[in-house]
Amino acid sequence: MRNFVFHNPTKIIFGKNTIPGIGAETAALARKVLLVYGSGSIKANGIHRAVTASLAAAGVSWVEHGGVRSNPVLSHVHEGISLAVREKVDAVLAVGGGSVIDAAKAICAGAPADCDVWQFLRGKKGIRAALPLLCVLTLAASGSEMNGGMVITNEATRQKFGTHSGLLYPRVSILDPEATYSVPPDYSAWGAVDAISHVLEFYFTARESDVEVQNRLMEGLIAAIMAACDRVLADPRDYQGRAELMWGATLALNGLTGAGLGMVGFPMHMIEHSLSALYDVPHGAGLAVVVPGWLRWHAQQEPAKVARLGRMVFGLDEGALPVTATATIDHLRRWFAAGGCPTSLSQLGIGAADIPAIADNALGLARVWRLKEYSKERIVEILQHCQ
Ligand code: NZQ
Ligand code: ZN
């Protein structure tokens, strides 16, 4: 294990009928909030009514900033920042999935800033202040409800960049699994792929190899998220399945899995964000294509850890490491496909001729994330494994 500091300040309120508590939690932090949400699912499933009734009962006033798109864009964040400043809100309340929470984080960081919030995302400036953020999570996927990360697309430059700050952790996040009953099968599966990918990024890029506790934690989390996703796809109103998937996705990117690993990278995400930036591919769907391709490339250099994943999580052991590694990747890819996910660039309507431009786009984020070993040639090679 390498030295580490694990400090996660987010208060999680988990379980059935927890959403009515959001008013009191907000009143403890603010008198007036910016209520940020997406394209309307919370109005259709009753969560908007429950949240606003709770805010009103707690004497908290709110201004609404709806319309956050999946793969949230900078122009809409700018509108939210102007609204937050004009209305002098003293906190932001995000009600939605990762896109809504990330847009809300960008507004929290942008409202007090003396520069464009995009400067933070391109790694040119550090975040010095942020409005307090509260969340009501409605989709199990990104882990944004319990971390300091945010990912925003600049439509003008066609770049989707992410950054992290200790100031962006939500103060409070309410996770009611029943809020996810209305998530359709595709986003349920894509959310599970996203959460599993968060674990795999650390599992395979960890500098420290003597980390048995962390390896077993990550292997167990992957297995449990897969099992929970299978339950939810079989029965969308399986409360325990939704609960396991929700908490598993939160644990997958709240800092716990990365403890003691030393430096880790996010190369699969670095590449996937270009698919979302250039083609508006849903994040989890893009990962279902990129992860198997990256693993095939990675297994050529280091088959042992890929084979370990297969042995520990899928019970595979085909003898020689490269053979087990290949069987592991095929098993994971079949599970993605069984959940209805695309598993090739061609299924996304992306052809081999597009690969150089995707690689050029991904290089921008590779530089911001200091993934110096990812040259254009390497990214092209990985994308060729994704066709
Ligand atoms: O627009 P709304 O009404 O919110 O509808 C959404 C959207 O259409 C819908 N949805 C959400 N909850 C629902 C629901 N539909 C019915 N019932 C519900 N309860 O689902 C669609 C997708 O929502 P979105 O928020 O885009 O999905 P997700 O949670 O997967 O978030 C994806 C975003 O998270 C970012 C990704 O880049 C992407 O932009 N990520 C954020 C990270 C972080 N902050 O740590 C890390 C991740 O790796 C990821 O990059
Ligand atoms: Zn992700």
Distance of alpha carbon 4 from alpha carbon 153, whole angstroms: 31
Once rounded to an integer, what is the mean pLDDT over residues 291-306? 97
Residue 149 has what pLDDT? 98
Q: Which of 127, 283, 341, 369 to mutate to test the pocket of ligand 1 (most atoms within 8 A of CB)?
A: 283
Residue 215 has what pLDDT? 98
Verify whether ligand 1 is closer than 6 Å to residue 102 (CB atom): yes
Residue 355 has what pLDDT? 98
Ligand nearest, relative to CA of residue 288: 2
Residue 181 has what pLDDT? 98
Residue ID of nearest Cα to ligand 1 atom 18: 183
Residue 297 host element (H or E):
helix 283-301
| AA letter at 192 | A
How many angstroms separate the alpha carbon of residue 197 from the centre of ligand 2? 7
pLDDT in tens, 77-104: 999 999 999 999 999 999 999 999 999 9
Once rounded to an integer, what is the mean pLDDT over residues 40-68? 98
Verify whether ligand 1 is closer than 6 Å to residue 97 (CB atom): yes
Distance of alpha carbon 68 from alpha carbon 62, whole angstroms: 17
> Using the 8-state DSSP alphabet, how is residue 10 labeled?
P
Contact 382, 271 (CB under 8 A): yes
Residue 162 has what pLDDT? 96
Verify whether ligand 1 is closer than 6 Å to residue 170 (CB atom): no
Q: How many other CB atoms are found less than 10 A from the CB of residue 48?
A: 19
Residue 301's pLDDT band, with cuts at 50, 70 and 90, is very high
Strands in the chain per DSSP E: 11-14, 32-37, 61-65, 91-96, 133-137, 149-154, 159-164, 172-175
pLDDT in tens, 342-368: 999 999 999 999 999 999 999 999 999
Residue 170 has what pLDDT? 99
Mean pLDDT over the full length of the chain: 98
Backbone angles phi and psi of 356, in degrees to 5? -60, -40
Verify whether ligand 1 is closer than 6 Å to residue 283 (CB atom): yes
Residue 232 has what pLDDT? 98
Verify whether ligand 1 is closer than 6 Å to residue 100 (CB atom): yes
**Which tokens belong to 200?**
């795999």
How many angstroms separate the alpha carbon of residue 270 from the centre of ligand 2? 10
Torsion over CA: 153, 364, 166, 268 (sign): positive
Q: How many other CB atoms are found less than 10 A from the CB of residue 301?
A: 6
Residue 385's pLDDT band, with cuts at 50, 70 and 90, is very high
Residue ID of nearest Cα to ligand 1 atom 31: 98
Q: What is the CA radius of gyration of the chain?
A: 20
Contact 283, 194 (CB under 8 A): yes
Closest CA to 277 of 148, 101, 149, 157: 157
3-state class (DSSP) for residue 33:
strand
Residue 277 has what pLDDT? 97
Residue 94 has what pLDDT? 99
Once rounded to an integer, what is the mean pLDDT over residues 246-254? 98
Residue ID of nearest Cα to ligand 1 atom 37: 151
Residue 251 has what pLDDT? 98
Once rounded to an integer, what is the mean pLDDT over residues 50-78? 98
Whole-model pTM over 0.85: yes
